[in-house]
Amino acid sequence: MSRQQLRRTRLLELEQEQRLEDEEGLFMTEVTTSGYLNNFILVMIYRNNVNLSLIHSCLSSLNFMT
């Protein structure tokens, strides 16, 4: 094989490795997915608690709740 052919072959191998790494990067592991989901749930719970607290305060100030 000539040097040019060797370089071309090596370049094709590197491009294939890069494609595989890129494809692997598109998928999250189960641990990563559950971590994001847990954080999302905590934010939603916090937001809902803040909203409920605000509603409760408003209703209390309007004497709708005791």
Q: Is the per-residue pLDDT at 5 higher than 90?
A: yes
Alpha helices in the chain (DSSP H): 3-25, 30-61
Residue 46: what pLDDT? 83
Do residues 36 and 28 make contact, with C-beta atoms less than 8 angstroms apart? yes
Residue 64: what pLDDT? 59
Domain ranges of the chain: 3-61
Indicate the SS3 state at residue 64. coil
Instruction: Give the separation between CA 46 and CA 50, rounded to whole angstroms.
Output: 6
Do residues 65 and 56 make contact, with C-beta atoms less than 8 angstroms apart? yes
pLDDT tens string 23-54: 887 777 888 888 888 888 888 888 888 777 87
pTM of this structure: 0.45
Indicate the SS3 state at residue 28. coil
